[in-house]
A = this chain, B = another copy of it.
Amino acid sequence: MNNYQSFLDLFLKHLEEYRSHLNSKSPKELYEPENYILSLGGKRLRPLLALIACDLFDKDPKLALNSALSVELFHNFSLIHDDILDAAPLRRNKETVHEKWNTNIAILSGDVMLVKAKQVLEHYDFKEFKKLNILINKTAIEVCEGQQHDMNFESMDNVHVTNYIDMITNKTAVLLGCSLKMGAINANAKEEDQTNLYAFGKHLGVAFQLMDDLLDAFATDQKKFGKQIGGDIMANKKTFLFLKAQELASEKQNKELLKLMKTKDPQKKVEGVLTIYDTLNIKKICQQEADVHTLQAIDFLNKVNGNASKKENLKKYAKELLNRQA
């Protein structure tokens, strides 16, 4: 995964430069939360994808630095607002913005970040600026729609697995496609190549989310996973695993599942649900579904007219990310 260290360094330097201007800005209640959430780290996957995509066409990845910053700002805006919606106390083991400050400040500083995600694109010329904006506007709306569907699922009894795939496609996957396509636009790649890279990112994003669902239930190394194992089960989250289990379960198993959802004892709940998952072979089915999307992703990447060895590198990187702890 160290392949792209130089791109990561490039982006982090650009981000530092951007952040250095935030300290002096007023009112500090708006800009400190932005600086804070940008300091929390993470893989910086989305900005990396923008640089990688640009480089794939043998163009200077620096051309995509402001696209990279744009998607990172957008992603972090969505984290601030989503954390309010989810009433989440922690983000990357640190206090969320609405906890550290308050909800009003989290709403408003998120709003500003959403605007700035577009504003940093003003560095590009007219045509590039418009293409990038059309893409990020469309993506931003899809992300919000995905988030709303996710909230709706909480109180719905009849969520189908396909609804779930649609939801995660919008909520998380399209932003990966968007990041790659922005880099391709910066590289002035052909329309067709932009579209194929976008589809690569989108399917990869679905595969990532499915693997994340899987690890949440089956990871063996909590430290490596970074989140509480069984967290989704404890929270009655309608993940792929749960919905697939509901779909395949006998009447008796479904009654048991519903009973377990109401169980107060978290250990008993997790163990009970995992037993049903095991009986129904849910782990393997989820893995297979992720594989389908990974293969689709790779198919789209193969169609891209980019530097062949760089494409191989990107495939390797994608697979490493997917298998990070499976």
Contacts and interface: CB of A to CB of B under 8 A. Distances in A.
A30 B171 CA distance: 14
How many monomers of this protein are in the complex?
A: 2
A84 B111 contact: no
A88 interface: no
Interface string A195-237: 0000000000000000000000000000000000000000000
A129 B122 CA distance: 11
Given A107-B107, A108-B147, A152-B29, A116 B134 contact: no
Interface in A1-49: 26-27, 29-30
Interface residues of A, number: 38
A230 to B, nearest CB: 25
A111 B148 contact: no
Interface stretch (A52-60, A89-97, A137-145, A250-258): A137-145
Contacts of A147: 108
Contacts of A104: 84-85, 151
Interface of A: 26-27, 29-30, 81, 84-85, 103-105, 107-108, 110-112, 114-116, 118-119, 122, 126-127, 129-130, 133-134, 137-138, 140-141, 144-145, 147-149, 151-152
